[in-house]
Amino acid sequence: MSLHLYSHPLASFCHKVLIALYENGTPFQAHLVDLGDPGGKADFLELWPVGKMPVLRDEARGRTVPETSIIIEYLQQHHPGPRALLPDDADARLDVRLWDRFFDLYVHAPMQRIVLEELRGPNEKDPRGVADARATLATAYAMIERRAPREWICGDEFTLADCAAAPALFYAAIVAPFAPEHAQLDGYYQRLMDRASVRRTLSEARPYFPMFPLHAAIPARFLQD
Protein backbone atom coordinates (compact mmCIF):
# COMPACT_ATOMS: atom_id res chain seq x y z
CA MET A 1 0.00 0.00 0.00
CA SER A 2 1.61 3.23 -1.17
CA LEU A 3 -0.58 5.80 0.60
CA HIS A 4 -0.65 6.09 4.39
CA LEU A 5 -2.90 8.62 6.11
CA TYR A 6 -2.08 9.67 9.66
CA SER A 7 -5.20 11.10 11.23
CA HIS A 8 -7.88 10.75 13.90
CA PRO A 9 -11.52 9.84 13.08
CA LEU A 10 -12.92 12.66 15.24
CA ALA A 11 -10.72 15.45 13.89
CA SER A 12 -12.63 17.75 11.59
CA PHE A 13 -9.72 18.63 9.30
CA CYS A 14 -9.00 14.92 8.90
CA HIS A 15 -12.59 14.50 7.71
CA LYS A 16 -11.85 16.82 4.81
CA VAL A 17 -9.16 14.52 3.41
CA LEU A 18 -11.12 11.35 4.16
CA ILE A 19 -14.06 12.70 2.15
CA ALA A 20 -11.75 13.35 -0.80
CA LEU A 21 -10.29 9.84 -0.57
CA TYR A 22 -13.74 8.24 -0.39
CA GLU A 23 -15.04 10.33 -3.27
CA ASN A 24 -12.53 8.63 -5.55
CA GLY A 25 -12.27 5.25 -3.86
CA THR A 26 -8.55 5.85 -3.41
CA PRO A 27 -6.89 2.96 -1.54
CA PHE A 28 -4.90 3.96 1.54
CA GLN A 29 -3.75 2.63 4.89
CA ALA A 30 -5.19 4.51 7.86
CA HIS A 31 -3.04 5.18 10.93
CA LEU A 32 -4.80 6.49 14.03
CA VAL A 33 -2.73 9.19 15.72
CA ASP A 34 -3.17 9.34 19.49
CA LEU A 35 -1.39 12.47 20.70
CA GLY A 36 -2.18 11.43 24.27
CA ASP A 37 0.17 8.46 23.89
CA PRO A 38 3.81 9.60 24.33
CA GLY A 39 5.17 6.95 21.97
CA GLY A 40 2.57 7.60 19.31
CA LYS A 41 3.07 11.34 19.61
CA ALA A 42 6.84 10.99 19.26
CA ASP A 43 6.45 8.86 16.15
CA PHE A 44 4.07 11.36 14.59
CA LEU A 45 6.35 14.32 15.38
CA GLU A 46 9.17 12.45 13.69
CA LEU A 47 7.00 12.31 10.57
CA TRP A 48 5.76 15.92 10.80
CA PRO A 49 7.33 18.06 13.57
CA VAL A 50 4.51 20.63 13.45
CA GLY A 51 2.29 17.93 14.95
CA LYS A 52 -0.88 18.84 13.03
CA MET A 53 -3.13 16.20 11.47
CA PRO A 54 -3.73 14.87 8.90
CA VAL A 55 -0.51 13.95 7.14
CA LEU A 56 -0.24 11.79 4.02
CA ARG A 57 2.80 9.62 3.41
CA ASP A 58 3.32 8.33 -0.13
CA GLU A 59 5.85 5.53 0.19
CA ALA A 60 6.05 4.91 -3.54
CA ARG A 61 7.18 8.47 -4.20
CA GLY A 62 9.01 9.04 -0.92
CA ARG A 63 6.87 12.10 -0.10
CA THR A 64 5.35 13.30 3.15
CA VAL A 65 2.46 15.65 2.42
CA PRO A 66 0.85 17.80 5.16
CA GLU A 67 -2.02 20.31 5.04
CA THR A 68 -5.46 19.27 3.85
CA SER A 69 -5.76 21.32 0.67
CA ILE A 70 -2.25 20.35 -0.42
CA ILE A 71 -2.97 16.67 0.29
CA ILE A 72 -6.10 16.71 -1.87
CA GLU A 73 -4.35 18.49 -4.73
CA TYR A 74 -1.43 16.06 -4.42
CA LEU A 75 -3.83 13.13 -4.66
CA GLN A 76 -5.39 14.56 -7.80
CA GLN A 77 -1.99 15.11 -9.38
CA HIS A 78 -0.35 11.81 -8.49
CA HIS A 79 -3.19 9.41 -7.60
CA PRO A 80 -6.13 10.64 -9.68
CA GLY A 81 -9.52 9.00 -9.47
CA PRO A 82 -12.71 9.29 -11.50
CA ARG A 83 -13.77 12.57 -9.82
CA ALA A 84 -11.61 15.67 -10.27
CA LEU A 85 -11.98 17.73 -7.11
CA LEU A 86 -10.17 20.69 -8.70
CA PRO A 87 -11.34 21.70 -12.19
CA ASP A 88 -9.00 22.08 -15.15
CA ASP A 89 -10.26 25.56 -16.05
CA ALA A 90 -7.98 28.13 -14.37
CA ASP A 91 -10.72 30.55 -13.28
CA ALA A 92 -12.94 27.76 -11.97
CA ARG A 93 -9.96 26.31 -10.10
CA LEU A 94 -9.33 29.66 -8.41
CA ASP A 95 -12.98 29.82 -7.35
CA VAL A 96 -12.72 26.35 -5.79
CA ARG A 97 -9.52 27.29 -3.99
CA LEU A 98 -11.11 30.50 -2.70
CA TRP A 99 -14.09 28.69 -1.20
CA ASP A 100 -11.85 25.98 0.20
CA ARG A 101 -9.94 28.65 2.09
CA PHE A 102 -13.19 30.38 3.03
CA PHE A 103 -14.51 27.29 4.81
CA ASP A 104 -11.19 26.60 6.51
CA LEU A 105 -10.65 30.16 7.73
CA TYR A 106 -14.14 31.55 8.35
CA VAL A 107 -16.16 28.46 9.34
CA HIS A 108 -13.71 25.82 10.50
CA ALA A 109 -11.39 28.09 12.50
CA PRO A 110 -14.08 30.01 14.45
CA MET A 111 -15.96 26.76 15.09
CA GLN A 112 -12.82 25.28 16.64
CA ARG A 113 -12.36 28.44 18.71
CA ILE A 114 -15.82 27.96 20.23
CA VAL A 115 -15.17 24.27 20.92
CA LEU A 116 -11.83 25.10 22.54
CA GLU A 117 -13.63 27.34 25.01
CA GLU A 118 -15.39 24.24 26.37
CA LEU A 119 -12.00 22.77 27.26
CA ARG A 120 -10.69 25.84 29.07
CA GLY A 121 -10.57 26.05 32.83
CA PRO A 122 -12.67 28.65 34.72
CA ASN A 123 -9.77 31.07 34.85
CA GLU A 124 -8.86 30.62 31.19
CA LYS A 125 -12.14 31.60 29.55
CA ASP A 126 -12.05 34.08 26.69
CA PRO A 127 -15.59 35.44 26.16
CA ARG A 128 -14.36 38.15 23.79
CA GLY A 129 -12.66 35.55 21.59
CA VAL A 130 -15.81 33.44 21.51
CA ALA A 131 -17.94 36.46 20.66
CA ASP A 132 -15.61 37.31 17.79
CA ALA A 133 -15.76 33.70 16.57
CA ARG A 134 -19.55 33.72 16.62
CA ALA A 135 -19.59 37.01 14.71
CA THR A 136 -17.29 35.51 12.06
CA LEU A 137 -19.57 32.48 11.75
CA ALA A 138 -22.62 34.73 11.37
CA THR A 139 -20.93 36.59 8.50
CA ALA A 140 -19.86 33.31 6.90
CA TYR A 141 -23.38 31.87 7.17
CA ALA A 142 -24.82 34.92 5.42
CA MET A 143 -22.27 34.63 2.61
CA ILE A 144 -22.92 30.90 2.13
CA GLU A 145 -26.66 31.61 2.10
CA ARG A 146 -26.15 33.74 -1.01
CA ARG A 147 -24.12 30.99 -2.73
CA ALA A 148 -26.09 27.94 -1.65
CA PRO A 149 -28.97 27.88 -4.18
CA ARG A 150 -26.53 26.10 -6.52
CA GLU A 151 -26.12 22.33 -6.10
CA TRP A 152 -22.61 22.58 -4.65
CA ILE A 153 -20.77 25.64 -3.45
CA CYS A 154 -18.94 26.23 -6.76
CA GLY A 155 -21.58 24.94 -9.17
CA ASP A 156 -22.85 21.58 -10.37
CA GLU A 157 -19.79 19.51 -9.40
CA PHE A 158 -18.65 18.37 -5.94
CA THR A 159 -15.16 19.81 -5.40
CA LEU A 160 -12.37 20.41 -2.92
CA ALA A 161 -14.44 23.31 -1.54
CA ASP A 162 -17.27 20.93 -0.62
CA CYS A 163 -14.78 18.58 1.04
CA ALA A 164 -13.83 21.54 3.23
CA ALA A 165 -17.43 22.61 3.78
CA ALA A 166 -18.79 19.29 5.06
CA PRO A 167 -16.79 18.87 8.30
CA ALA A 168 -16.72 22.62 8.95
CA LEU A 169 -20.51 22.89 8.72
CA PHE A 170 -21.14 19.59 10.54
CA TYR A 171 -19.45 20.87 13.68
CA ALA A 172 -20.41 24.53 13.18
CA ALA A 173 -24.11 23.62 13.06
CA ILE A 174 -23.68 22.07 16.52
CA VAL A 175 -21.99 25.06 18.15
CA ALA A 176 -23.93 27.74 16.23
CA PRO A 177 -27.17 26.36 14.73
CA PHE A 178 -28.43 27.95 11.53
CA ALA A 179 -31.06 30.67 11.86
CA PRO A 180 -34.48 30.34 10.15
CA GLU A 181 -33.41 32.83 7.48
CA HIS A 182 -30.62 30.49 6.39
CA ALA A 183 -32.83 28.11 4.43
CA GLN A 184 -30.45 27.88 1.47
CA LEU A 185 -27.50 27.22 3.77
CA ASP A 186 -29.47 24.50 5.52
CA GLY A 187 -30.37 22.93 2.18
CA TYR A 188 -26.70 22.87 1.19
CA TYR A 189 -25.80 21.39 4.58
CA GLN A 190 -28.39 18.63 4.11
CA ARG A 191 -26.99 17.78 0.67
CA LEU A 192 -23.51 17.55 2.16
CA MET A 193 -24.65 15.34 5.03
CA ASP A 194 -26.42 13.01 2.59
CA ARG A 195 -23.31 12.57 0.42
CA ALA A 196 -22.03 8.97 0.61
CA SER A 197 -18.43 10.02 1.31
CA VAL A 198 -19.57 12.29 4.15
CA ARG A 199 -21.88 9.65 5.63
CA ARG A 200 -19.02 7.16 5.65
CA THR A 201 -16.66 9.63 7.32
CA LEU A 202 -19.17 10.50 10.05
CA SER A 203 -20.01 6.84 10.58
CA GLU A 204 -16.34 6.12 11.26
CA ALA A 205 -16.20 9.08 13.66
CA ARG A 206 -19.28 7.94 15.61
CA PRO A 207 -17.46 5.77 18.18
CA TYR A 208 -15.36 8.81 19.09
CA PHE A 209 -18.22 11.32 19.39
CA PRO A 210 -18.29 11.02 23.22
CA MET A 211 -14.83 12.65 23.18
CA PHE A 212 -16.31 15.77 21.55
CA PRO A 213 -16.89 18.44 24.25
CA LEU A 214 -20.40 19.19 22.98
CA HIS A 215 -21.34 15.61 22.14
CA ALA A 216 -24.74 15.95 23.85
CA ALA A 217 -25.70 18.48 21.17
CA ILE A 218 -24.89 16.19 18.20
CA PRO A 219 -28.17 15.54 16.34
CA ALA A 220 -29.58 12.05 16.87
CA ARG A 221 -29.48 11.29 13.13
CA PHE A 222 -25.67 11.13 13.32
CA LEU A 223 -25.60 8.75 16.28
CA GLN A 224 -27.00 5.75 14.45
CA ASP A 225 -26.98 4.15 10.99
Which CATH class, in words, describes the domain spanning 90-203? mainly alpha
Whether residue 184 contacts residue 153, with contact meaning beta carbons closer than 8 Å, is answered with no
Helix (H) or strand (E) holding 73: helix 68-78
Give the separation between CA 221 and CA 79, rounded to whole angstroms. 34
| Residuewise pLDDT in 10s, the chain (225 residues) | 799 999 999 999 999 999 999 999 999 999 999 988 888 899 999 999 999 999 999 999 999 999 999 999 999 999 999 999 999 999 999 999 999 999 999 999 999 999 999 988 888 888 999 999 999 999 999 999 999 888 999 999 999 999 999 999 999 999 999 999 999 999 999 999 999 999 999 999 999 999 999 999 999 999 987
Burial 139-158 (b: 16+ CB within 10 A, else e): ebbeebbebbeeebbbeeeb
Give the separation between CA 185 and CA 178, rounded to whole angstroms. 8
Find the length of the chain.
225
Contacts of 197 (CB under 8 A, 6+ apart): 18, 19, 20, 22, 23
pLDDT score of 225: 75
Give the separation between CA 94 and CA 87, rounded to whole angstroms. 9
Whether residue 55 contacts residue 46, with contact meaning beta carbons closer than 8 Å, is answered with no
Whether residue 130 contacts residue 113, with contact meaning beta carbons closer than 8 Å, is answered with yes
| Bridge partner list, 58 | 3, 63
Q: What are the boundaries of each domain within the chain?
A: 90-203
pLDDT score of 138: 97
Give the separation between CA 100 and CA 147, rounded to whole angstroms. 14
Quote the DSSP letter at residue 155.
Answer: B
Give the separation between CA 170 and CA 10, rounded to whole angstroms. 12
Give the separation between CA 104 and CA 43, rounded to whole angstroms. 27
pLDDT score of 17: 98
